[in-house]
Structure 1
Amino acid sequence: MNLFVGIDVSSQKLDTCLLNSEDEVLLEVSLPNSLVGAKKIKEYIIQFDEHINYDRIIVGMEATSIYSFHPATFLAEDSDLKALEIEVAVINPKQISKFKKMFDEDKTDTVDAYRIADFLRFDRFNVSLIKEEKYMALQRLTRSRYQLVGQLAEMKQHFIENLYYKCNTLTKEVDTSIFGATMMDLLTDSITLDEIADLSLEDLVEVLQQKGKGRFSDPEKLAKSISKAIKDSYRLGDMMQDSVDVVLASYAMMIKTLKKQIKELDKAIGRLFKTIPESKSLLSIPGVGPVYAAGIIAELGQIERFENEAKVAKYAGLHWKRKQSGDFESERTNITKTGNRYLRYYLIEAANSVMRNEPVYREYYLRKYEEVPKNQHKRALVLTARKFVRMVDALLRNHQFYAPERSA
């Protein structure tokens, strides 16, 4: 006899259903999503096990973002429950949703908890290790960095859009980054474009050298390109000019702040990443730096959570479903993209970098690139990322450093 514990998790509640192998509901209860509620579930499990002594005790809940983290971790790590050898399954919500559609019934939290327990009864789920705290801590940092980098890209785009109003030929004429500290300072300074244009070449060079602290290799060339861009650009009216200046100054401040915060996160990621032994395995791969390596490890956790590299690829969404009927076998199948989007992003970006550094991966990419007439780069890169998953899995699982593959 087995005991199945289905938990419907929300931000406030843990609706719980205890079910046995004969589809008999032993208990239905709604508890707070807190340490008090989780401890109560523990008490119920121990209480029922004392009477029956179940062969297996399986606890299941949907992977509901941040809400399932605490109850799943508590129930998996509790020493008393470990002694009972309970299994904790955090299930993909899509699996539960498809299972519920088989039944014509109301949609309530109580029913959902029962159906989760019922799903466990069919034994069509995977129980993987709960991700350890160090990986979760690293994930908080890497995901925050990912979000800040996205915000920084958005801020830069808005800055460029508004800069076009102020000086529409600047980005075309100037071959240095407009997001460097000197250019940002010059573009958002109280000095107007007309005042910059009226400066002699020598004076503008001196201004650039002062603001850039002498770091420009050819300040005279830069001064000429800036002066030409200003003279060739349209002029704004006073009201429009004032508005654009305020907007540019605001975006410049946000860009500066975001850059600073990203640097702080990089330091924190670096400190934590050094404490994780697997980091050296991924860093040994040519083209994989701390950002990609930390992102991959943070999303994977301990590699033992996955049975094999195919499970890793499926978790990342680098998976293609087979389409076959009778004698027909489809040669064109779409990528599922239903997995962890952060892990998929890091794997694809890392594969792109490895492809530029490793001849074997470059050859593989080019071979896949030539196979189709459309979407060549995207398809070849995703397939290269799938090949890259095999290497990542092997290195992490065997605790090895990278050794170059032999070219055919």
Structure 2
Amino acid sequence: MNKFIGIDISKQTFDVSFSKKKQEVFDNNQKGFKKMFKDIDPETGVVMEASGPYYLNLATFLHNKKVRVFVINPLKIKRFSQMNFNRAKTDKKDAEVIRNYALKMQEDLKEWKPEPKHIKDMKQLHTSIELLNKQLQQTKNQLGAFEDSGSVCKELGKSFRSILKKLEKEKERLEGQMLALGKEEYQQTVKSLTSIPGIGDKTAIMLIAISGDFEKFDHYKQLIAYVGFSPRIYQSGTSVKGKGHICKMGKSQIRKLLYMCSWTAKRYNKACVEMYERLEKKGKPERVIKIAIANKLLKQAFAIAKNKTTFDKNYQSKVCF
């Protein structure tokens, strides 16, 4: 394929770069989608950024019309634009940059497909639970600050504790819904993942939700990077040697769950036990070891879910996923 249309989309409108000479603006609604679709050649691919939720309706519409859709990480487009010394920053120019990216980086393009409704529902529940966790922590911190002052207004303390109770109850309700939905729709994957010593129902459901039942990634390293456990090395030449650490650019809630899972895995998961003992002998800090174990759990989960099998403590991996 050597024909691409670049789209820069926002909440109200989207700019379309059909070619160097043809660019148009359409309303971001069904009427605008239908108007734009009339000008699309059947052999043309449509490329757009993953701009929050704004691209989803258009991408789904085009996919249903049998148009090949490609959704790109905005950071890749930004870096591509910088590499080409683009100084202008307008919606029209961005659409052109997206089309040029597709023309030059065709081998990196991966066709987009809508997520199943169950995955969408689980991801929305997951996002809501993360929001409730933040609200809970903020409320606890504020109440703690009042208490540390030495005197808390009686009515204020009562109000804060009531809010905390309601938030905890709502969090438990949503977690229950997510767990029930995951077990109902992805029973086999849940069974496979929970066969791994250290991974329970809650972590299994979270992994299914963020990975689209492990269809979103082709390699376990992509999953590790998405979660935010990839190491970041800061080094240049012989003089700059910064301390390495994980990037933390991914999902904080699943990182916390996996870190907690590592406590169990280091005792009952054979591969993780061996890793713990080996790293402990090298003098590695406990936190570093548990992050390494969490990575091992992700690698095991990816392999087992992809192969649709169950955990075998004596299995020796010959093929790296």
After TM superposition, is the score higher than 0.5?
A: yes
Q: CA deviation at 1:67?
A: 1.9
CA deviations on 1:46-83 (whole Å, 9 max, x unpaired) are: xx34xxxx3xx32222222222232223323x1x325x
Aligned equivalent of 2:186: 276
Residue 198 of structure 2 corresponds to residue 316 of structure 1: no
Structure 2: runs of 5+ lacking an equivalent: 317-321
Deviates more, 1:66-75 or 1:342-351: 342-351
Does structure 2 conserve the Cα–Cα contact (< 8 Å) formed by 1:321 and 1:333? Answer: yes
CA distance in 2, matches of 1:111, 1:8: 9
Q: How does 1:225-374 map to 2 (within 5 A)?
A: 244-274=153-183, 275-277=185-187, 278-320=189-231, 333-341=244-252, 343-371=254-282
The equivalent of 2:128 in structure 1 is 144
Partner amino acid, structure 2, of 1:4: F
| Correspondence 1:72 to 2:67 | no
120-129 or 392-401: bigger deviation: 120-129
Letter in 1 for 2:108: F
Match of 1:58 among 45, 51, 58: 45
**1:133 and 2:133 are equivalent in the alignment:** no
Give, in whole Å, the separation in 2 of the partners of 1:265 and 1:401: 28
Q: Deviations over 1:185-211 (max 9, x none)?
A: xxxxxxxxxxxxxxxxxxxxxxxxxxx
Task: Please report how far the alpha carbon of residue 349 of structure 1 lies from its aligned counterpart in structure 2 after TM superposition.
Answer: 4.3
Aligned to 1:16: 16
Tell me, yes or no, if structure 1 residue 386 matches structure 2 residue 270: no
Separation in 2, partners of 1:9, 1:346: 35
Deviating more after overlay: 318-327 vs 139-148? 318-327
User: Aligned partner of 2:218: which letter?
Assistant: E
Say if 1:249 and 1:365 are closer, same or farther in 2 by CA, change over 3 A: same
Report if aligned partners of 1:31, 1:37 keep a CA contact under 8 Å in 2: yes
Match of 2:33 among 30, 34, 38: 38
Q: 1:293 is matched by which residue type in structure 2?
A: A
Structure 2 residue 76 is the aligned partner of structure 1 residue 95: yes
- The structure with the larger Rg is 1
TM-score by length of 2: 0.83
Letter in 2 for 1:246: E
Q: Against the structure 1 CA distance between its residues 264 and 304, is the aligned structure 2 distance closer, same or farther, given a 3 Å change threshold?
A: closer
**TM-score, scaled to structure 1:** 0.67
| Stretches of structure 1 lacking an aligned partner (at least 5 in a row) | 20-24, 167-239
Q: Deviations over 1:208-240 (max 9, x none)?
A: xxxxxxxxxxxxxxxxxxxxxxxxxxxxxxxx6
d(CA) in 1 for partners of 2:287, 2:210: 23
Task: Report the alpha carbon displacement of residue 301 of structure 1 after superposing the two structures with TM.
Answer: 0.4
2:144 to 160, 164, 168: 160
Q: Does 1:3 align with 2:3?
A: yes
Output the CA distance in 2 between the equivalents of 1:369 and 1:40: 63
* Pair 1:75–1:337, CA change in 2 (3 A): farther
The amino acid that maps onto 2:98 is I
C-alpha distance in 1 between matches for 2:255 and 2:274: 22
Render the CA deviation track for 1:226-260: whole Å, top value 9, x for unaligned.
Answer: xxxxxxxxxxxxxx6xx621220110110111012
* Corresponding residue number in structure 2 for 1:117: 99
Q: Could you give the per-residue CA deviations for residues 12-35 of structure 1, whole angstroms, max 9, x where no partner exists? A: 22211124xxxxx36311112223
**Secondary structure, counterpart of 2:6 in structure 1:** strand
How large is the Cα RMSD of the aligned pairs?
3.1
1 CA distance for matches of 2:11 and 2:312? 46
Secondary structure of 1:2's counterpart equals coil
Residue deviations 1:136-183, cap 9 Å, x none?
1101001211221232233233333434556xxxxxxxxxxxxxxxxx
Q: Cα offset for 1:317?
A: 3.2
How far is the alpha carbon of 1:97 from its aligned partner?
Answer: 0.7
Distance 1:164 1:69 in 2: 47
Give the residue type in structure 1 aligned to 2:29.
Answer: S
Structure 1 stretch displaced more, 359-368 or 7-16 = 359-368
Any conservation in 2 of the 1:142–1:294 contact (CA below 8 Å)? no
Counterparts of 1:126 and 1:335, CA distance in 2: 27
